[in-house]
Structure 1
Amino acid sequence: MNWYAELAARYGSPLYVYDLERVAAAQKDLRQALPGGFSLFYSFKANPHPEIARALRDGGALAEISSTGELNAAFAAGFDGSEVLLTGPGKTTEELEVAVDGGVRLFSVESPTDLWHVGQVAARRGVIADCLLRVNSAEPGAATSIRMTGAPSQFGFDEEMIPALMPELRAVPGTRLAGAHLFSLSNSKDEESLVAEFGHTISVAARLQRETGLPIRLLDIGGGFAAPYLTGGERPVYGGLRAGLETVLDAEFSGWRAGTPEIACESGRYLAGDCGTLVCTVVNIKESRGRRFVILDAGINTLGGMSGLGRLLPVSVGLNGATPDGERSPATLVGPLCTPGDILARNVSLPPLAPGDVVTIPNAGAYGMTASLVMFLGHPAPIEVVTHGHQVVSVSRIEFHRKYE
């Protein structure tokens, strides 16, 4: 029996299978692509599973989180509060109190009020919070990929406003300005775009330091590292990234090789994306007015609901963990939910399938469970199986319990 079919028979379906060997390989590849001395934050939003995070921590990664739930996952994975960067535009008082009480001292702040909010909690606790100013740069460095800057946004200080704000930002009780955080690009389409964006990011930070006196002990240049999502393919290998980064850093921050400033980047999908496979079962196949529908036991409650009902994904499907030879035909891939919005993909080329077949969706380690509507209609959450090769490390399922006050 195929490995994935064996796991489905043992633990049920649907389930996510995460291979820690792939996590370690991704971290090794990324570190080899980056200059020596870089710090690497793992973005828990991609997949907060503690086993994945623990494997990355064992490889030297730090934690980038944006909620109390992610903070708890970081603690469960063995991270100390001193290894955590808390980000996000909507930090609540409760979240900040839990973070500060847990030893978190590094924050990325998005606005003057966000900085004051962090400072108020830190001051009440009698500590100092080191704060990176997240910067919404005025212009992009690359013309392709998913843009995160250059437009009005809830994320970051508008670059052009920082000079006038600097005296106020320096004086917030309970805080100390520690550097800059720029996250301009997501899932870069090519290495040229990635290098150009990082170069632009570093230049913006250097200009802010020169023109405003912003102290930069830590510069987080963000991410943008790509990985295939829910379809076949391999992670890119960035052969020219190290040299490109070294060139611009030498020009803008001459002391960076000695740690002044410390340079960091962050990644979620690159580190976790290809470790995961979604394993599910064909429940039914039906024809309707000339179209074929393949109904799975996994729908938007399991995968890809973050962007709303009806989001179509670039899904590819293998039979029992492999793509078999033979005639393939198009079909609409749907889940089990009682809504017409439970469509994963249309016109997917599928192998011959029958009810009861176990199928797999690859590269689902990032933004799989994290992007799902796991509570919709009360269906049980998928099982998550963590493996190291063919050895099962742990098996878990998220459960929700109503608490009455």
Structure 2
Amino acid sequence: MSATAEHAELAERFGTPLYVYDLDRVRAARRSLFGDLPDGFHLYYALKANPHPAIARALREGAGPACRAEISSPGELAAALEAGYAGGDCLYTGPGKTDAEIALALSHGVRRFSVESIGDLRRIGGHARAAGVVADCLLRVNALASGAATGLRMMGKPSQFGIDAETLPGLAAELSSVDGTRIAGAHFFTMSNAASEDALLAEYDQAAQSAVRLAELGFALDYVDLGGGFGAPYATPGERSAYPGLRDGLASVLDDRLPGWRTGSPELACESGRSLVAGAGSLLCRVVNVKTSRDNTFVVLDGGINVLGGLSGIGRLLPAAVQLDDAAPTETAHLAGPLCTPGDLLGRAVRVPKLTAGDLVTIPNTGAYGPTASLVHFLSRPAPAEVVLDGGEVVSATRLESRRTPVALA
């Protein structure tokens, strides 16, 4: 059965809008990315990309190295646990960890946290002491400079993320003396969606140099997370980025900057979300209406930014024009969703095949930043169904539901 025929059958069976996730492609991406990294690296899956438990589970089960879980909320912790990760497999990150979520994470065995500030560290330490444990903390460093000029910049500027590198000498004694915590190393997240292999290597070299400076200040350097940056197309046709020289190039950088890494001093990790799962997903929508307004064609779909927001409210991910994975384009149109707002546009001036009401369209590479990154509650429309395939067979069909529940009065 062709992909188009398979999608048509699934759309008839489960309705639209519909996400289809292929676990075979998830596993292939995991194998590929581990193969791009030097032996011995840990790889964290960032559940923010797609917290569906079946996808998270596929990244830790089966032959070959297993991913760990990078989480930033109680909901992501719950998804990781449902997918079979132990608390010890998780790295808890984020600049606004609350008392309640820190306590919850510790109660489920999470012991590794990325810390963004001295206040963050103190909160973790207080709850670790109360639980009678010690939390291993990685200092997230906001370096003064970055190694590359492409991709979404995450360091080298004022930010809620990380401890400014220039303040670390003055904070060293305080950071090292918070009861209930142990500074175990460093966490860097320099960029997202690197444009090239050279850009990635430049960033990792910069991160490794920053890690060396931490060691020079007296911090333990048992574990270093170099971050991510691995590229993949989002809601547009194409394949995930290939990095044929990254394995050897990164090994050379580490031999120069952190020569003990080959014997596990420090242990090393990277993290990825979109690169692991974007290519495993497709979004299927039906054409509801096609209309012309002042010489512009609007193709109105049954799903819009409520199902494919891509964090569009902050201009984060959605490309200028979503590209359909269908027949050869023959005309230009605007792709609109069903919401009562002029902002519900998935693409402006998109080249599309000739479409009529009832046609099925496929938006590719949407395995990341789908429903949970969208305005899924706006206008109270139903969330899209999500179907999971394994070996070509449907193994799961679910839909996120929202409901009001009572909150206990103080």
TM-score, normalising length: structure 2: 0.95
Please give the alpha-carbon distance, in whole angstroms, between the structure 2 residues aligned to 1:239 and 1:206. 27
Identity across the alignment (%): 55
Matched, 1:42 2:49: no
Tell me whether 1:217 sits opposite 2:222 in the alignment. Answer: yes
Letter in 1 for 2:362: T
| Aligned position for 1:114 | 120
Q: Give yes or no for the alignment of 1:275 onto 2:275.
A: no
| Structure-2 separation of matches of 1:357 and 1:305 | 24
Alignment equivalent of 1:249, drawn from 241, 254, 267 = 254
Deviations 1:141-177 (A, max 9, x none): 1112211000000000000111110100111011010
Using the TM superposition, give the Cα deviation of residue 187 of structure 1 relative to its aligned residue in structure 2, in angstroms. 0.4
**What does 1:89-108 correspond to in 2, within 5 Å?**
89-108=95-114
Q: Trace 1:6-405 onto structure 2 (pairs within 5 A).
A: 6-58=9-61, 59-210=65-216, 212-304=217-309, 306-308=311-313, 313-318=320-325, 323-325=326-328, 328-405=330-407
Q: Which amino acid aligns with 2:338?
A: P
Contact 2:321 2:349 in 1 (8 A): no
SS in 2 for 1:294: strand
Q: Is the 8 A contact 2:234 2:319 kept in 1?
A: no
Q: Which amino acid aligns with 2:347?
A: A
Read off the aligned partner of 2:321 and give its amino acid letter. Answer: P
Deviation at 1:313, TM superposition (A): 4.0
How far apart, in 2, do the equivalents of 1:356 and 1:392 lie? 24
Higher alpha-carbon deviation: 95-104 or 384-393: 384-393
Provide the rounded CA distance (Å) in 1 between the counterparts of 2:249 and 2:167.
Answer: 29
Alpha-carbon separation, structure 1, partners of 2:338 and 2:96: 34
- SS at structure 2 position matched to 1:57: coil
Indicate conservation of the 8 Å contact 1:143/1:193, yes or no.
yes
Q: In the alignment, is the contact (CA less than 8 A) between 1:230 and 1:313 conserved in 2?
A: no
Check whether the contact 2:235–2:319 (CA below 8 A) recurs between aligned residues: no
Q: Provide the secondary structure at the position in 1 that maps to 2:59.
A: helix
State whether residues 310 and 369 of structure 2, in contact with CA within 8 Å, keep that contact through their aligned partners in structure 1: no
Per-residue deviation, 1:48: 0.5
Contact 1:191–1:241 (CA under 8 A) maintained in structure 2: yes
8 Å Cα contact 1:230/1:364 also seen in 2: yes
Q: For structure 1, which segment, 77-86 or 389-398, has the greater mean C-alpha deviation from structure 2 after superposition?
A: 389-398
Query: Aligned equivalents of 2:195 and 2:309: distance in 1?
Result: 20
CA distance in structure 2 between the aligned counterparts of 1:309 and 1:120, rounded to whole angstroms? 34
Shift of 1:404: 2.3
Shift of 1:139: 0.4
Alpha-carbon distance in structure 2 between the residues aligned to 1:295 and 1:313: 17
What CA RMSD, in Å, does the superposition of the two structures yield over aligned residues? 1.3
Which has the higher mean CA deviation after the structures are superposed, 1-10 or 344-353?
1-10
Task: Give 3-state SS (helix, strand or coil) of 2:283's partner.
Answer: strand
Q: CA deviation at 1:273?
A: 0.9
Partners of 1:368 and 1:189 lie apart in 2 by 22
Counterparts of 1:221 and 1:286, CA distance in 2 = 49
Give 1:255 shift. Answer: 1.4
Matched position secondary structure for 1:193: helix
Report the Cα distance in structure 2 between the residues aligned to 1:11 and 1:363, rounded to whole angstroms: 20
**Secondary structure in structure 2 of the residue aligned to 1:224:** coil
Q: Classify the secondary structure of the residue corresponding to 2:212.
A: helix
Inter-partner Cα distance in structure 2 for 1:307 and 1:293: 20
CA deviation map 1:272-309 (0-9, x unaligned): 11000001110110001110000000111101252318
1:66 CA displacement:
0.2
SS in 1 for 2:43: strand
Corresponding position: 1:5 with 2:11? no
Q: Look up the SS of the partner of 1:393 in the other structure.
A: strand
Tell me how far 1:135 sits from its aligned partner. Answer: 0.2
1:191, 1:101 → 2: CA distance? Answer: 40
The list of structure 1 runs, each at least 4 consecutive aligned residues, that deviate by more than 6 angstroms after superposition, is none
The structure-2 alpha-carbon separation of the partners of 1:305 and 1:268, relative to structure 1 and needing over 3 Å to count, comes to closer
Amino acid at match of 2:238: G
- TM-score, with structure 1 as normaliser: 0.96
1:52 is displaced (CA, Å) by: 0.5
| Distance in 1, Cα, partners of 2:154 & 2:356 | 43
For 1:7 and 1:345, locate their aligned partners in 2 and report how far apart those are by CA, in whole Å: 24
Unaligned runs of 5+ in 1: none
